[in-house]
Amino acid sequence: MAATTPEVVISVRDVVNRFGPQTVHDGVSFDVHAGEVFGIVGGSGSGKSVLLKTMLGLRKPDSGVVEVEGHDITCMSERELRGVKQRYGVTFQHGALFTSLTVTENVILPMVELFALEEATLQSLAELRLRMVGLPVDAGAKFPAQLSGGMIKRAALARALALDPALLFLDEPTAGLDPIAATAFDDLVLYLRRTLGLTVVMVTHDLDTLARTCDRVAVLVDGKVIVDTLPGIVRNDHPWIREYFHGARGRLMAAAGEEAQRGA
């Protein structure tokens, strides 16, 4: 990937976001390359969600430019923006499945809204999405309240994939999952990236997910962003980043890992 200039899918330039007197992003710039998994980390209140919303076109930045596939989304009309939005899929932290619809109805909702298709075709496409995310086909008839946390995340991903997006945004995809389910979800993301060539942007706090899936990581600190590969970030001298990757939890994990290796 380093040899040739990678294709830029999203380009964020000098984005400033303010809430009253508080400046959340003070000139944030980075690129997301085609086909990579791009992680975003940052402390609580560092503006990860705001950054995600800005990239999704749900929030206009106070200044700066966000380009998706070469088009500036900050000065687009509603109609143009809708076209861009159909190119990406989003999963929200708590799934945001519509609780009054079954999983199948959730998945086909974007297709029902946008294309005139027959019921049988819609059912067939819903089945495809469920299979893609590894849900049993009979899960489609269930309501979100009847699903486990891991299944909700998968169902949300199935809905995000409904319109064949080239770009996937995941907000804390593995939060609240047990390590086995989280690993399975990481594998799923990697598998979809590999086979479908998706570009994935994810906000996550899960160090394992970061290490396993992300090609590059953006760290939000002090209203700025530092982008590097994960090893590069881990070697960074910034106190917050040191604390994040070398804090008590990180050390405990490393120590436990070494112990297990010695024991084996």
Among 215, 216, 205, 196, smallest CA distance to 249 is for: 205
Query: Residue 221 interacts with another protein (CB under 8 A)?
Result: no
Closer CB to another protein, residue 61 or residue 89?
Answer: 89
Residue 8 Cβ vs another protein, minimum distance, rounded to whole Å: 15
Closer CB to another protein, residue 145 or residue 264?
Answer: 145
Range 101-160, binding another protein (CB under 8 A): 111, 114-118, 120-121, 123-125, 127-128, 131-132, 137-138, 141, 143-145
- By CB under 8 A, name the one of 19, 72, 75, 164 that touches another protein: 164
Q: How far apart are alpha carbons 101 and 1 in whole angstroms?
A: 42
Tokens of 147: 């699903």
Closer CB to another protein, residue 46 or residue 106?
Answer: 106
Residue 116 Cβ vs another protein, minimum distance, rounded to whole Å: 5
Cα dist. 123→26, 110, 114, 141 in Å? 46, 13, 15, 11
Closer CB to another protein, residue 186 or residue 206?
Answer: 186
Query: Residue 3 interacts with another protein (CB under 8 A)?
Result: no
Residue 164 Cβ vs another protein, minimum distance, rounded to whole Å: 4
Widest Cα–Cα separation across the chain:
61
Helix residue ranges per DSSP H, the chain: 48-56, 78-85, 103-114, 119-132, 149-160, 179-196, 207-213, 230-234, 239-246, 248-263
- By CB under 8 A, name the one of 22, 100, 148, 229 that touches another protein: 100
Among 148, 142, 236, 189, smallest CA distance to 37 is for: 189
**Three-state DSSP class for residue 247:** coil
User: Long-range contacts: 50-54, Cβ < 8 Å, 24+?
Assistant: 50/17, 50/24, 50/25, 51/12, 51/15, 51/17, 51/25, 51/220, 52/169, 52/171, 52/201, 52/203, 54/12, 54/15, 54/17, 54/25
Residue 100 Cβ vs another protein, minimum distance, rounded to whole Å: 3
The count of chain residues that interact with another protein, using the rule CB under 8 A, is 30
Closer CB to another protein, residue 151 or residue 210?
Answer: 151
Closer CB to another protein, residue 98 or residue 240?
Answer: 98
| Interacting residues toward another protein by CB under 8 A | 86, 98-100, 111, 114-118, 120-121, 123-125, 127-128, 131-132, 137-138, 141, 143-145, 162-164, 195-196
